[in-house]
Chains A and B, each alone.
Chain A
Amino acid sequence: MGALMVIFSLQPKQKRKRRDSVEDELELSAVRHRPEGLEQLEAQTRFSRKELQILYRGFKNECPSGVVNEDTFKDIYSQFFPQGDASTYAHFLFNAFDTDHDGSVSFEDFVTGLSILLRGTVQEKLNWAFNLYDINKDGYITKEEMLDIMKAIYNMMGKCTYPILKEETPRQHVEIFFQKMDKNKDGVVTIDEFIDCCQNDENIMRSMQLFENVI
């Protein structure tokens, strides 16, 4: 009787194993990525050799395979925000970093993005931010896109906030944003409106310089 049970249970496992092995093979082949040489990266980005070395060491430590896929990215980013759920925002960030849209962020993408954020001109930074908000990359930020971004940002806060987070807070925030940014009131924000408006805002200008010395 026990033998019968054993025989029956063996069957499905074999099928599963066959499927898994094919996937494993695929993964093995895709996993090794080596970045371009140090000189090339030095030329492409605004980081010095030393800084690139430090960045790469940290990158490689966490992602030994050389590329970050979205899950790992979400994982890493979530560790910085333990109270809330950072996965949505990490998703948008991932898309912003993954400039060639191949589903993974290699070290070059990573470093290029960082170069803009940390060493770029204000124009470049604002460009990058616009790119982040424009989820479908069509050149316009709609209210829905902005709402998504806002909700993602508020999600990172988690439940335990003071004052208590209400349902309509992101929506109100989006309204304020659009009132400020949307000059011609057509319901969307274009890149020029965005950059214009930001450059006229003291606070935003000042805060753009905040993270210069992060590396």
Chain B
Amino acid sequence: MAAGVAAWLPFARAAAIGWMPVASAPMPPPPRDKRHTRDELIILNVSGSRFQTWRNTLERYPDTLLGSTERDFFYHEETNEYFFDRDPDIFRHILNFYRTGKLHYPRHECISAYDEELAFFGIIPEIIGDCCYEEYKDRRRENAERIQDDEDNENGNDVTQLDLTIRQSMWRAFENPHTSTMALVFYYVTGFFIAVSVMANVVETVPCGTGSRAKEMSCGERYALAFFCLDTACVMIFTVEYLLRLIAAPSRYKFVKSVMSIIDVVAIMPYYIGLVMTDNEDVSGAFVTLRVFRVFRIFKFSRHSAGLRILGYTLKSCASELGFLLFSLTMAIIIFATVMFYAEKGSNSSKFTSIPAAFWYTIVTMTTLGYGDMVPKTIVGKVFGSICSLSGVLVIALPVPVIVSNFSRIYHQSQRAEKRRAQKKTRLARIRAAKSGGANAYLQYKRNGLLADAEEEASKEAGKALVCKVNPTFETQHHHLLHCLEKTTNHEFVDEQTYETSCMEVSMVKPSTSRSSSVSSSPHGLTSCCSRRNKRKSFNVPNSNMTAGRRGSVQELSTIQIRERPLSNSRSSLNAKFEETVPLNSEQQPYITAAIISMPTPPVTTPEGGDSASSPDFLQSNIVRVSAL
């Protein structure tokens, strides 16, 4: 029942008095009227725009936010109104829903913003009125497609190299040629051979000057062997490609059914059939026909051209329009052919010998080709011929815009997808930079241990990461929170690089334990260890005393590494070892890992925290395995 009609209920009840005299039984008592309060105005303040309505209006829909007691949570005592920190423009439509019972969708609003507002106010979108429902559904579907696209792309790119098997990486190389250079090479090679093969097929038939005999020969006959070799080479390449694709396909059955594979098969089959069949005169006719199928090789280009794929897809999606075009054309052709035949029957030596013969004339005329090989001679024939050509233009022109608009829509969609892919790279880069900026800020803060510096550094780092300046209070509170977490878990935060290197280290730690017993005596061994490891990345040693001296040369604030604990109890011995080994590597990398130095002594897991004033956090008891923020 519409909301407005509810206002007429008193009238309907009053009119019930008309039944009283004829009633056969006594009436039930009326319900107690609960609300004896007067209807009052409610003020809804939505981000500054004040809306007012009757309380009854809102309470028409008690299962929404505004109609139930949930709105009391938003009551603002000082100003005696309900305050919502939401979009006032969209709220207008939501309030109109209460008033009129119809929910409308404004076309200029973003679909996700609108959905969010509806969800906030507890209104289900299915009650959108018929006038706006189509538009709403369309926009929603587009949005869902876009999100799905993004997800698919993400999933596609997230798979790291390490996880793929040979087969999967092969398939990936085939499907996305830009993923690796090998794939790109393969892509171009196959493209080249397709072009060569098609050109060869074309040139084969060109007359090539007089050969040994009197009549003209085509190039194919003159250089038969050369063309045969070329054809063989191309078909071999195509066969190899097809077999590789077949092997690499995740679902072979699906691959075999797909259009591209069928094109591949059709492209190479004629050659093999030709090999199998001998040069028998009887079947040579059929053999010649088979060669026609070689032209299908040109369709292999659709793997290389997105535009071609879009065209194919458009034709597929416009199948109904094309069907309609064909059907109406056929109808018109038959009608006009019949008319022309009977009109021209009278004249002698007319080319219109039968209705099917007249089909040719009709088609040529309707498509405005007008070859002139068949022309009507009688006046009636000429009249109907002109009507035929006029209507031909109309019939053909009607479905074409539909197909064109379909093509345009699909093309723009693919353009959008391309643009999104390009933007995604920069977007992800920005996100990553922001993330690392945040991590850097925190790690910097830890090293400094001072709030003021952290603010500066935080904003500097944040600036570097292309993020706008963050709120300093927020930053410090956030840092404190991270610090608490570190203390709780007894682990610390590091960045990605150092995490990876520490991963590698730990895997290499065991084999090198035996060797490092003689570290002091054989610096070469150490050098080789270090140099081997240092080839990967440079990293700092967060040794508490070392940092004081080394801080000046810290290039990357992010490369703080936490590692196995310095295994000696005394810091001085650690320093000694460190000093000893520094000159070995200073030419290459200014820093070396403490782990390598401290391997020889048996691991002692006593926390050394509290001794160093600047950064007690670096002394850990366990191997740290934490990922960057």
Instruction: Give the B-binding residues of A (Cβ under 8 A).
Output: 1-3, 50, 54-55, 57-59, 61-62, 76-77, 79-80, 93, 96, 110, 113-114, 117-118, 125-126, 128-129, 132-133, 146, 149-150, 153, 173, 176-177, 194, 198, 203-204, 206-208, 210-211, 213-215
Interface residue from A3, A76, A117, A176 paired with B24 (Cβ < 8 Å): A176
Measured as residues with beta carbon below 8 angstroms from the partner, the interface class of chain B is 35 or more
Cβ of B21: which chain A residues have Cβ within 8 Å of it? 126, 129, 133, 177, 194, 198, 204
Interface residue from A79, A146, A214 paired with B14 (Cβ < 8 Å): A214
How near does chain B come to A72, taking the closest CB pair, in angstroms? 11
Whether A214 and B2, one on each chain, are in contact in the complex, defined by CB atoms closer than 8 angstroms, is no
Query: What are 14 A-B interface contacts by the 8 Å CB criterion?
Result: A1-B387, A2-B394, A2-B395, A3-B391, A55-B10, A59-B8, A80-B9, A110-B11, A113-B14, A129-B20, A146-B22, A204-B21, A207-B26, A210-B29
Whether A1 and B335, one on each chain, are in contact in the complex, defined by CB atoms closer than 8 angstroms, is yes
Cβ of B16: which chain A residues have Cβ within 8 Å of it? 211
Whether B391 and A117, one on each chain, are in contact in the complex, defined by CB atoms closer than 8 angstroms, is no
How near does chain A come to B41, taking the closest CB pair, in angstroms? 13
How near does chain B come to A94, taking the closest CB pair, in angstroms? 10
How near does chain B come to A50, taking the closest CB pair, in angstroms? 8
Flag whether B18 is at the interface (Cβ < 8 A).
yes
Whether A114 and B30, one on each chain, are in contact in the complex, defined by CB atoms closer than 8 angstroms, is no
Interface residue from A1, A79, A110, A213 paired with B332 (Cβ < 8 Å): A1
Give A215's nearest chain B residue, CB to CB. B10
Flag whether B450 is at the interface (Cβ < 8 A).
no
Question: Complex formed: what's the CA distance from A96 to B17 in Å?
Answer: 12
Question: Complex formed: what's the CA distance from A210 to B25 in Å?
Answer: 14
How near does chain A come to B366, taking the closest CB pair, in angstroms? 11
Whether B17 and A125, one on each chain, are in contact in the complex, defined by CB atoms closer than 8 angstroms, is yes
Interface residue from B5, B30, B33, B39 paired with A62 (Cβ < 8 Å): B5
Interface residue from B9, B17, B26 paired with A117 (Cβ < 8 Å): B17
Cβ of A146: which chain B residues have Cβ within 8 Å of it? 22
Interface residue from B7, B26, B27, B390 paired with A57 (Cβ < 8 Å): B7
Whether A79 and B30, one on each chain, are in contact in the complex, defined by CB atoms closer than 8 angstroms, is no
Give B28's nearest chain A residue, CB to CB. A210
Interface SS majority for chain B: helix
Q: Give the residue among A76, A114, A153 with the most B Cβ atoms within 10 A.
A: A76
How near does chain A come to B100, taking the closest CB pair, in angstroms? 9
Given contacts A176-B24, A208-B20, whether A79 and B15 have CB atoms under 8 Å apart is no
How near does chain A come to B106, taking the closest CB pair, in angstroms? 22
- Listed from nearest, the 6 A-B pairs whose CB atoms lie closest are A58-B7, A117-B14, A207-B27, A61-B4, A214-B10, A207-B20
Given contacts A1-B391, A204-B23, A207-B20, whether A114 and B11 have CB atoms under 8 Å apart is yes
Whether B18 and A62, one on each chain, are in contact in the complex, defined by CB atoms closer than 8 angstroms, is no
Question: Complex formed: what's the CA distance from A93 to B395 in Å?
Answer: 58
Cβ of B25: which chain A residues have Cβ within 8 Å of it? 203
Cβ of B33: which chain A residues have Cβ within 8 Å of it? 213
Flag whether B253 is at the interface (Cβ < 8 A).
no
Whether A149 and B22, one on each chain, are in contact in the complex, defined by CB atoms closer than 8 angstroms, is yes
Whether B27 and A61, one on each chain, are in contact in the complex, defined by CB atoms closer than 8 angstroms, is no
Interface SS majority for chain A: helix
How near does chain B come to A215, taking the closest CB pair, in angstroms? 5
Taking A177-B22, A214-B10 as given, write out 20 further A-B residue pairs in contact, using a Cβ cutoff of 8 Å, ordered by the A residue number.
A1-B387, A58-B7, A58-B8, A59-B7, A62-B5, A76-B8, A77-B15, A79-B2, A96-B18, A114-B10, A117-B15, A118-B10, A153-B19, A173-B24, A176-B24, A204-B23, A207-B23, A208-B20, A211-B14, A214-B14
Give B14's nearest chain A residue, CB to CB. A117
Interface residue from A50, A59, A214 paired with B13 (Cβ < 8 Å): A214
Whether B17 and A129, one on each chain, are in contact in the complex, defined by CB atoms closer than 8 angstroms, is yes
Give B390's nearest chain A residue, CB to CB. A3
Whether B26 and A211, one on each chain, are in contact in the complex, defined by CB atoms closer than 8 angstroms, is no
Cβ of A117: which chain B residues have Cβ within 8 Å of it? 14-15, 17
Cβ of B26: which chain A residues have Cβ within 8 Å of it? 203, 206-207
Question: Complex formed: what's the CA distance from A88 to B18 in Å?
Answer: 14
Cβ of B394: which chain A residues have Cβ within 8 Å of it? 2-3
Give B30's nearest chain A residue, CB to CB. A210
How near does chain A come to B490, taking the closest CB pair, in angstroms? 68
Question: Complex formed: what's the CA distance from A114 to B7 in Å?
Answer: 14
Give B19's nearest chain A residue, CB to CB. A153
How near does chain A come to B59, taking the closest CB pair, in angstroms? 15
Flag whether B275 is at the interface (Cβ < 8 A).
no
Whether B4 and A62, one on each chain, are in contact in the complex, defined by CB atoms closer than 8 angstroms, is yes
Flag whether B159 is at the interface (Cβ < 8 A).
no
Question: Complex formed: what's the CA distance from A213 to B9 in Å?
Answer: 13
Whether A80 and B12, one on each chain, are in contact in the complex, defined by CB atoms closer than 8 angstroms, is yes
Cβ of A133: which chain B residues have Cβ within 8 Å of it? 18, 21
Cβ of B38: which chain A residues have Cβ within 8 Å of it? 50
Give A118's nearest chain B residue, CB to CB. B14
Cβ of B7: which chain A residues have Cβ within 8 Å of it? 57-59, 61-62
Cβ of A194: which chain B residues have Cβ within 8 Å of it? 21
Binary interface profile of B, 368-404, with partner A (CB < 8 Å = 1, else 0)?
Answer: 0000000000000000000100110011000000000
Interface residue from B5, B17, B30, B390 paired with A128 (Cβ < 8 Å): B17
Cβ of A204: which chain B residues have Cβ within 8 Å of it? 20-21, 23
How near does chain B come to A80, taking the closest CB pair, in angstroms? 5
Q: Give the residue among B22, B24, B25, B30 with the most A Cβ atoms within 10 A.
A: B22
Whether A210 and B27, one on each chain, are in contact in the complex, defined by CB atoms closer than 8 angstroms, is yes
Cβ of B23: which chain A residues have Cβ within 8 Å of it? 203-204, 207
Whether A79 and B27, one on each chain, are in contact in the complex, defined by CB atoms closer than 8 angstroms, is no
Question: Complex formed: what's the CA distance from A198 to B335 in Å?
Answer: 81
How near does chain B come to A179, taking the closest CB pair, in angstroms? 12
Q: Give the residue among B1, B11, B17, B18 with the most A Cβ atoms within 10 A.
A: B11
Question: Complex formed: what's the CA distance from A1 to B38 in Å?
Answer: 70
Cβ of B10: which chain A residues have Cβ within 8 Å of it? 55, 58, 114, 118, 214-215
Give B99's nearest chain A residue, CB to CB. A61
Given contacts A3-B391, A177-B22, A213-B30, whether A79 and B5 have CB atoms under 8 Å apart is yes
Binary interface profile of B, 297-308, with partner A (CB < 8 Å = 1, else 0)?
Answer: 000000000000
Give A97's nearest chain B residue, CB to CB. B15
Given contacts A76-B8, A211-B14, A211-B30, whether A54 and B20 have CB atoms under 8 Å apart is no
Give B328's nearest chain A residue, CB to CB. A2
Cβ of B19: which chain A residues have Cβ within 8 Å of it? 153
Q: Give the residue among B20, B30, B38 with the most A Cβ atoms within 10 A.
A: B20
Question: Complex formed: what's the CA distance from A177 to B22 in Å?
Answer: 7
Given contacts A1-B391, A54-B39, whether A77 and B20 have CB atoms under 8 Å apart is no
Cβ of A203: which chain B residues have Cβ within 8 Å of it? 23, 25-27
How near does chain A come to B551, taking the closest CB pair, in angstroms? 76
Give B100's nearest chain A residue, CB to CB. A61
Question: Complex formed: what's the CA distance from A57 to B39 in Å?
Answer: 13
Whether B15 and A93, one on each chain, are in contact in the complex, defined by CB atoms closer than 8 angstroms, is yes
Question: Complex formed: what's the CA distance from A9 to B38 in Å?
Answer: 60
Cβ of A118: which chain B residues have Cβ within 8 Å of it? 10, 14
Whether B22 and A153, one on each chain, are in contact in the complex, defined by CB atoms closer than 8 angstroms, is yes
Whether B14 and A114, one on each chain, are in contact in the complex, defined by CB atoms closer than 8 angstroms, is yes
Cβ of A211: which chain B residues have Cβ within 8 Å of it? 13-14, 16-17, 30
Cβ of A214: which chain B residues have Cβ within 8 Å of it? 10, 13-14
Whether A173 and B22, one on each chain, are in contact in the complex, defined by CB atoms closer than 8 angstroms, is yes
